[in-house]
Amino acid sequence: MSTLDDRPANPAIGEVRPNKRGGVAALIQSPVAIRLGALLILAIGLSLLHLSGRVFWQGLVINLGIFMILVLSLNLASGFTGVFSLGHIGFMALGAYGSAILTLPLAKKADYLPNLPAWLASIHFDFYLGPFPLGFLLATLLAAGLVAGVALLVGLVLMRLSGHFVAVATLGFLVIVRVILFNADNFTRGSRTFSNVTPYTGLWWVWFWAILTLYVVWRLKYSAYGRAMLAQREDALAAQAVGLAIMPPRLLAFVVSAFFTAVAGSLYAHFITSFSPTVFYFDLTFRVITMLIVGGLGSVSGSVLGTVVIIALAEALRRLEDVTLLYGMSQITLAVIFIVIILFRPNGLLGRREIVLARLFRKGGEPSP
Amino acid sequence: MPLLQVIGLSKSFRGVRALDGYTLQLSPLSIHGVIGPNGAGKTTLFNLLTGFLKPTSGTIHLLQQDITHAPAYRIAQLGIARTFQNIRLFGNLPVIENVKVALQSQFANSLWATLISSRAFQQNERELEARAEQCLELVGLTSQRDQEAHNLPYGEQRKLEIARAVALNPKILLLDEPTAGMNPNETDEILHLIRRLRDELNITIMLVAHDIPLIMNLCTHIQVLNYGRLIAEGAPQTVRTNPEVIAAYLGQAKYA
């Protein structure tokens, strides 16, 4: 708790800055160095995991990264602006199907989706730049860009609503996406499994996108754009009284959030390689919202923490399930944990606070005065 | 030329005339008071002037510009700031952030500059922070800068709301009962603050209050509303002795 930044600023602590110390110590403790250090540690961890060849753990860490993108995006759209979206998994589904159609090999496409329009049937994003699958990146960007466009249209209508109304309306969007996916046989094979997707997604891909999402969400939060989002969440009338229109910050959050959610969809599609519309529904929606609420609405580090906690718990409980043979217990336990957190820490583990890396380090390295 | 010119402003709520044919010529650097019994239409007037309500008829001009149908956020940007009768802060945000929100349109950054955290962006944010600190200093809230706004005592919340409005760099500041619920000491502080805003920052003030001595003491010009109509207007001394005003406040019987 000592590293949370919501405490009233204590000038006595604030003054003890590393600049009084030697150059090297100051350098090591600068925020930039600490962030680079954290990235380096993550990179080393991923490399070790990559080299270890342990497929199970690699899969778990990939899942962790995908969920982190989903939770961070939902936090941007819902936690920052207070406009709660229950429809985000719809964007994920569109991102998954959109990118998968683009990267599907031509032969498979002819065989698999014979009724695709000609221009789409002849597209295959399989180009490489050396060993780098540029096609996958482009397919992901293209799908996510289209989804962002859809989000803009949806948002222009739905972001006028607030509170319960917007939750119900976005839920309607999720249902609409599902119905479309089931019925657009020519593109999605309807209710049949969409498989044979090239397994491009690996540790590096997922964590590149996860860190990028984290970075963008963090930057937005501590900028005029983020302040506008938070201000209109706190009091829409007061926000207008200080010259802020309500729609632009909401739309920005919604569209950027939909973009990254669609990216997560693309990563997911190229990770599990076969899926059907049923995957993208209430179950997944509930799981992402649980992570978000457990971490704390509006807290970026809370989203990271919430994702890690729930993924770890779910995995531990699943193993326990295998031993005790009490199948279904893990889901019930997770739901109970969710209820307990809502009851006793309604603002989540971190609330609106943030864990600041720099402070973690400084505290540790500081000799007591 | 008047700073704010209002002609024939009316607002009906389902047939009830909350404001009827209101007219105003607000001259620069005046401190203009609007008084009247409860339900006289004072807050409705403020909501109309700041774009939170749309008038049934009439026009509002800020300098030469017609702002009758402009949205609230636009009017705020154009130079009419306000406070609310029941304080409206961004409660879960720190005090300094409350002020920064109002300042930030003067320190705009592109989305791209924000994302890459360019030099210009960092410079802008530093200036924004410095300006925000000046605004807090003006109302004496410097030491509370990192508190969440809802944790401030009532009187300081009022001051923060004024600091936030001043941060907009407005031409006109509309204060809706700025001293409501305050003790004489705090009322005195607000009175001095309002004078400073006019004298040092050249902000024209328009305020609604129930505190008649305060109004008489502070204002250069007064309007009296009753049942949505202007019943008197002029310098404090003339308004004070106007029989219609006395009747509105004390009841018809005494006047008759």
Boundary-marking domain end, from B133, B167, B201 = B167
Across the interface, do B109 and A224 touch by the CB < 8 Å criterion?
Answer: yes
Residues B24 and B125 in one domain: no
- Is residue A186 a part of any domain in this protein? yes
Q: What pLDDT is recorded for position A13?
A: 37
Residue B68 in this model has a pLDDT that exceeds 70: yes
pLDDT digits (tens, 9 = 90+) for B230-253: 999 999 988 888 888 888 876 655
Q: What pLDDT is recorded for position A361?
A: 58
| Cross-chain CB nearest to B90 (options A220, A223, A230) | A230
pLDDT digits (tens, 9 = 90+) for A289-347: 999 999 999 999 999 999 999 999 999 998 888 888 888 888 888 888 888 888 888 88
The pairing of beta strand B204-208 with beta strand B31-35: parallel
pLDDT digits (tens, 9 = 90+) for A196-248: 899 999 999 999 999 999 999 999 999 999 999 999 999 999 999 999 999 99
Q: Percent of chain B at pLDDT above 90? A: 80
Q: Percent of chain A at pLDDT above 70? A: 89
Boundary-marking domain end, from A257, A280, A303 = A280
Q: Spell out which residues of chain A touch residue B105, defining contact as CB-CB under 8 Å.
A: 243-244
Residues B7 and B50 in one domain: yes
Residues A271 and A293 in one domain: no
Q: Spell out which residues of chain B touch residue A244, defining contact as CB-CB under 8 Å.
A: 73, 101, 105
Residues A177 and A316 in one domain: no
| Cross-chain CB nearest to B102 (options A230, A243, A252) | A243
Using the CB atoms, write b or e for A41-56: b if 16+ within 10 Å.
eeeeebeebeeeeeee
Element (H, E) at A50: helix A31-52
Residues B92 and B146 in one domain: yes
Residues A176 and A87 in one domain: yes
Residues B38 and B60 in one domain: yes
Boundary-marking domain end, from B136, B151, B167 = B167
Residues B188 and B248 in one domain: yes
Q: How many domains does chain B have?
A: 2
Q: Does A5 touch chain B (CB under 8 A)?
A: no
Instruction: Report chain A's C-alpha Rg in angstroms.
Output: 22
Boundary-marking domain end, from B146, B167, B188 = B167
Q: How far apart are CA B72 and CA A112, in angstroms?
A: 55
How would DSSP label each residue in A279-302? GSSHHHHHHHHHHHHHH-TT-HHH
Greatest mean pLDDT among A357-366, B117-126, B210-219 lies in: B117-126
Q: What pLDDT is recorded for position B35?
A: 92
How many inter-chain contacts (A to B, CB under 8 Å) are there? 94
State the residue range of the domain holding B30. Answer: 1-79+170-256
The pLDDT-based confidence of B213 (bands split at 50, 70, 90) is confident
Residues A348 and A232 in one domain: no
Residues A174 and A229 in one domain: yes
- Is residue A362 a part of any domain in this protein? no
The pLDDT-based confidence of A110 (bands split at 50, 70, 90) is confident
Q: What pLDDT is recorded for position A362?
A: 54
pLDDT digits (tens, 9 = 90+) for B121-139: 999 999 999 999 999 999 9
- Is residue A5 a part of any domain in this protein? no
Helices (H), A122-235: 134-158, 163-183, 185-188, 203-221, 224-234
pLDDT digits (tens, 9 = 90+) for A7-65: 344 333 333 444 445 567 777 777 788 888 889 999 999 999 999 989 999 999 999 99
Q: How far is CA B12 from the centre of its chain?
A: 22
Residues B174 and B160 in one domain: no
Residues B100 and B71 in one domain: no
Mean pLDDT is lowest, of A187-196, A268-277, B25-34, B145-154, for: A187-196
Nearest chain A residue to B79, by CA: A243
Half-sphere exposure for A98 (CA within 13 Å, toward CB):
27
| Cross-chain CB nearest to A227 (options B82, B97, B121) | B97
Residue B141 in this model has a pLDDT that exceeds 70: yes
Element (H, E) at A44: helix A31-52
**Residue B133: how many CB atoms within 10 A of its CB?**
16
Give every CB contact of residue B193 below 8 A, 6+ residues apart in sequence: B138, B139, B159, B162
Q: How many domains does chain A have?
A: 2
Mean pLDDT is lowest, of A69-83, A349-363, B74-88, for: A349-363
Residues B4 and B72 in one domain: yes
Residues A306 and A257 in one domain: no
Mean pLDDT on B30-44: 92
Tokens (6 digits) for A166: 């917007």
Q: Spell out which residues of chain A touch residue B73, defining contact as CB-CB under 8 Å.
A: 239-240, 243-246
State the residue range of the domain holding A333. Answer: 282-355
| Cross-chain CB nearest to B76 (options A219, A224, A243) | A243
Residues B22 and B53 in one domain: yes
DSSP A86: S
Q: Does A357 touch chain B (CB under 8 A)?
A: no
Residues B60 and B175 in one domain: yes
Q: What pLDDT is recorded for position B175?
A: 96
Q: What pLDDT is recorded for position A327?
A: 81
- Is residue A346 a part of any domain in this protein? yes
ipTM rounded to 2 decimals: 0.92
Q: How far apart are CA B17 and CA A36, in angstroms?
A: 64
Q: What pLDDT is recorded for position A117?
A: 86
Residues B215 and B234 in one domain: yes
Q: What pLDDT is recorded for position A51?
A: 92
Q: Does A6 touch chain B (CB under 8 A)?
A: yes
Mean pLDDT of chain A: 87
Residue A363 in this model has a pLDDT that exceeds 60: no
More confident residue, B186 or A12: B186
Nearest chain B residue to A11, by CA: B143
Mean pLDDT of chain B: 92
Residues A59, A71, A42, CA angle at the centre, nearest 5°? 50
The pLDDT-based confidence of A364 (bands split at 50, 70, 90) is very low
DSSP A79: I
Residues B133 and B154 in one domain: yes
- Is residue A20 a part of any domain in this protein? no
The pLDDT-based confidence of B256 (bands split at 50, 70, 90) is very low
Q: How far apart are CA B38 and CA B49, in angstroms?
A: 19
Boundary-marking domain end, from A250, A280, A310 = A280
Q: What pLDDT is recorded for position A108?
A: 85
Q: What pLDDT is recorded for position A324?
A: 83
Residues A273 and A315 in one domain: no
- Is residue A17 a part of any domain in this protein? no
Q: How far apart are CA A303 and CA A70, in angstroms?
A: 9
DSSP A242: T
Q: What pLDDT is recorded for position A358?
A: 61
Is residue B87 within 8 A of residue B176, CB to CB? The reply is no
Residues A247 and A234 in one domain: yes
Beta bridge partners of B233: B223
CATH number (domain holding residue B228) = 3.40.50.300
Q: Does B72 touch chain A (CB under 8 A)?
A: yes
Boundary-marking domain end, from A280, A310, A343 = A280
Tokens (6 digits) for A343: 């009851």
Residue B97 in this model has a pLDDT that exceeds 50: yes
